[in-house]
Structure formats: structure tokens, C-alpha cells
Amino acid sequence: MWVGRWKTHAVRGRAAMTTISWTTRMSSTSTASVESMEAFVSHVTRGNNLAAAWSEHHDRHDNRGSAPWIHPTAIVHPSAAIGHNAHIGPYSIIGPDVELEDGVFLQAHVIVEGKTRIGRDTVIHPFACIGGEPQDKKHARQGSNSSSSTSSLVIGDNCIIREHVTIHGSTSYTLDTPTTVGNDCWILCGAHIGHDCSVGNRVVLSNNVCVAGHVEIGDFAIIGGQVGLKQHIKIGTLAMIGGKSAVDGDVLPYGLAIGNRAKIAGLNLIGLRRAKVSRQDIKLMLRMYRYMFGVPSCNKTAFAPALDLAAKESIVLRAEEVKTYLLDQQVDSATHPMVHEMVDFVLDSPNRFRSSMCAAVIPSASASSKSWSTASQQ
């Protein structure tokens, strides 16, 4: 049934109707905290003129029922599905299996290929290449005999994808699991998202970030410029990674990571405060983190010293102790979801057999010393 879409034929400027349902991934955080996190990410990305430009675009095209605008130099395959009010700029190329939702705005020289869906009101800047074949030799062997694309990619609503960004589709051996990018993400100049990645909602990837294949990035995470993320790792919710870091392990939710190779340097306290997390929960999260990751008590940890629990050899065993402590103290997951998310992330780490937890930066025994060391927690 064709309703509310434009079917493409030989005449450029019409597009095929496709009914697409979007499922927003739900975070384990409370609604109030999610709203505050959104405000925090907006604060981080403020000052850009894109919002004003996009608002002007909507002012010119308020009628959602209008046909898409396609520049005469653009090449759009007749089988592509283009939503109402979409804009396809000069010299852009749209493949046969592409679906652009209502209001998608492609500037000049944008290439979209593969089995790619792009959500409503997403803006893509010049020279971005979206939905290309994965850089994976196993995919090349398995997919070489297929006449149609075996790579798939889903990008959410209201994303900003800047110049020279590359986002690859999934591999043929991952069945029907596409590479995914959530809603309201900022993917800045020169960033790369590899095959089979899962990027959450409201994520910021700064300039020249390289995300290898099979990486999972949680909601509200902020990745600094020129960061490299190794394949198969997981970045937790609202984690922040400092610029030029090389990350080869899982980063704790709400954690701060920096370095080559990256280590956990503490919790994202500014982000937690802006998310209006209670002082009591922040203190408990700090105490849990310092116990699980072996951060010793000193003058700098007087506000929230490590939990006084039994000494255990590994971070997973210490996480089990913390989980028992939370149950004994009746700190339930319904009212303290972030607290439990931190512990569960560590407890689940053995199941992520292709990655390991990032270790923490450990201060020296002397509280006044400026020297730092790291210790293995696996």
C-alpha cells in the first residue's frame, strides 16, 4: 500500500514510498536523568550554526507532503525510496537499496549506497560516504558471488554527519544485524564508523575519530578528537574519552578514559551533575568504582573512599561483592539504575570474550605524590 510517499520512475524528483518504523533504544537511566543528559550533550555541542541553518530549511519547506528536491546533477537510482521534503544536493549519488526518510538533507557530493536507511531530518555534509562495503576480508570472500548488496546500515533521526565521514555497512556473516547509528548523534569531520558497530543515541564522535568494527557505544557517550577505538570493545553510557587516546578495552559507564593505551581516570562527574544525578548516588558510584578498580583511599578520595568490602583478586569478583552489598543495603535497580548499570557492566565483561575492561589509573601510595601508576585488574 503506497501512502504518503513518492515512487521513483524515470522522472527525477519522485521517490518510492516506504513505511519504516523506528525503535528508539531505551537506556537503563531514569527519564529525568535522560532529559538532563540530553541537555548536557547539547551544552557540549553548542555554538554550531547547523541548527539555525536547518531551521531555515524547515521554514522553506514546512509542508511535509511536498515532493523531494533533487539537484539535476545528482544521480538517484529509480529503486531508491526518498521521503517527503528530502533534499539531495549537487553531484550526490544514491544507490538502489537506499531509503531516505522525510526531511533528510544531503549536501553536495554525498554518496549513499548499500542497504541503507537514514532517519528523518538527518543532515549529511559534503564528501561523506555512507553505507559502503565493509573493510573485512571475510565479507569479501562470502559476499563476492552476490549480485545485490549484503551490507546494511541504519541511521536514526536528527543526526548531523559532517564532511568526509565514512560509515560502513555490516558484514555478510552477521546475518540480518545492520551497522546502526542512533538518534541525535553528532558525527564530526573525518570520523569513521566501521562495519557492524552499534552507536547509541545522542553520541558525539569528534573530528577524525576511528571506530573499528563490532564496537558498541552507549547513549550520550562523547569521544574526543583523533581517538582510535579497537574492534569488539564496548563504551558505556555517558563515558568520555580524551582526545588522541587509543582505546583497546571496555570503558566503564560514566567513566573518563584517556591515554595510549587508555586507562580509566575516574568518573564523568561533570556529566553526572549536569544529568542531575543525586549527590548520594554519585558518592556511591565513586565508592563502587574505587573498590572495583583498586583505587586506594587517600586525601583525594576522602569524600567517597572505596567501599570497605572483602579483598578479591579480580575486578569481576569485586563486582560480585558490590552487587551483594547493594542488595543488602536495599539499593534497588528501579530507583538507582545508574548504580546497577556500572556493576552489571563489569559483571558482564567475561561474556564479551573478545575484549577486556580498561584498567584504572592508580594513584601512588602517597596522597601528595604527583606520580601515577596503573595496575592490571583482570
Average pLDDT over residues 246-263: 98
Reply yes or no on whether 195 is catalytic: yes
Contact 16, 5 (CB under 8 A): yes
Paired strand residues for 246 = 228, 260
**Would you call 373 exposed, middle or buried from its count of C-beta atoms within 10 A (0-12, 13-18, 19+)?**
exposed
Beta strands 361-363 and 372-374, pairing class = antiparallel
Per-residue pLDDT of 186-226, as tens digits, reads 999 999 999 999 999 999 999 999 999 999 999 999 999 99
Average pLDDT over residues 17-37: 48
Half-sphere exposure of 10 (CA within 13 A, CB side): 0
> According to the CATH classification, is domain 64-139+149-275 in 2.160.10.10?
yes
* pLDDT at residue 179 in the model: 98
Average pLDDT over residues 47-75: 66
For 270-302, b/e burial (b = at least 16 CB within 10 A) is ebbebbebeeebbebbbbbbbbbbbbebeeebe
The one catalytic residue in 102, 157, 196, 250 is 196
Backbone φ and ψ for 285, nearest 5 degrees, come out as -65, -40
Reply yes or no on whether 328 is catalytic: no
Residue 116, SS3 per DSSP: strand
* pLDDT at residue 62 in the model: 53
Report pTM: 0.83
> Rounded distance, CA 76 to CA 95, Å?
7
Backbone φ and ψ for 183, nearest 5 degrees, come out as -85, 150
> Rounded distance, CA 351 to CA 353, Å?
5
**Residue 331 grid cell:** 539499593
Q: Please list the alpha-helical segments (H only) found in the chain.
A: 31-44, 50-60, 137-143, 269-274, 279-292, 315-328, 337-347
* pLDDT at residue 71 in the model: 98
The one catalytic residue in 125, 192, 195, 214 is 195
* pLDDT at residue 368 in the model: 39
Per-residue pLDDT of 80-123, as tens digits, reads 999 999 999 999 999 999 999 999 999 999 999 999 999 999 99
Report the percentage of the chain scoring pLDDT > 70. Answer: 75
Reply yes or no on whether 250 is catalytic: no
* pLDDT at residue 24 in the model: 38
The one catalytic residue in 119, 182, 194, 213 is 213
State yes or no: pLDDT of 274 exceeds 80. Answer: yes
State yes or no: pLDDT of 127 exceeds 80. Answer: yes
- Provide the CA 40 distance to its chain's centre, in angstroms: 15
The residue extents of the domains of the chain are: 64-139+149-275, 279-348
